[in-house]
Structure 1
Amino acid sequence: MTFSNKSCLVLATIFMVGILISSQQVSSQECGGALQGLMNNCAPFVGKMGPQTDPSQACCDAVKAADVPCVCQHLPPGIELIVSLEKVVYVAKFCGKTLPGGTKCGSYTIPPSSAFEIEE
């Protein structure tokens, strides 16, 4: 049985949602509940598999409503196995919420060249 890229993405997304929900209910509360909206709307754009693509408007709306630095500080353990933090930074920047250079998002450090202040 072979899986298409789409099937693998769906499985990875389901796996990611399971990890996030089961391991860090507190982080969602600490970050204003934004984590659920980010998971629902941005998962296809931040998965490790597949190319980097521009996020949807729904994803950008979720990013704009989120406290991105808080989410970065409270990423669940193991999330980096299925989520590309480089893509997370790209999506945040595309949507107008970029973290300052040197900021840690999980184990990923934001490069200085991709940074500017977050507009809250």
Structure 2
Amino acid sequence: MKRAGGSFGLKLMMEVIVVLVVFVGVLEMRIPMANGDVSPSQCKQEKDLLVKECKAVIFGSNPSPSCCQRVRVTHVECVCPLVTPKLANLIKVQRTIAQIEGCGRTVPHHFKCGSVTTP
């Protein structure tokens, strides 16, 4: 039996996963920011791989080593545009910060990614 809103719920869940892990990704200072060296197809592939590796995060797990690795190589410019105000309202910033620290990163103050700015 299919749950009501199943496909919408899954899509929303995947978007939330991307938001949660994007904060980890913004902390990798080696990420090129405005070089224009990432194509739209590369961005889609990076986002898909990021979601695949980090699915467990949405269910309350800490990021796995493979999730943290994927976050470190994902370009910020591929995921920050996905952070809409609606999506930003769904995340818990403190939980996200704890997950970032679980990947061994520090949170930069006042970093803007999409419609979210870190404290």
**What TM-score results when the alignment is normalised by the length of structure 1?**
0.49
**What TM-score results when the alignment is normalised by the length of structure 2?**
0.49
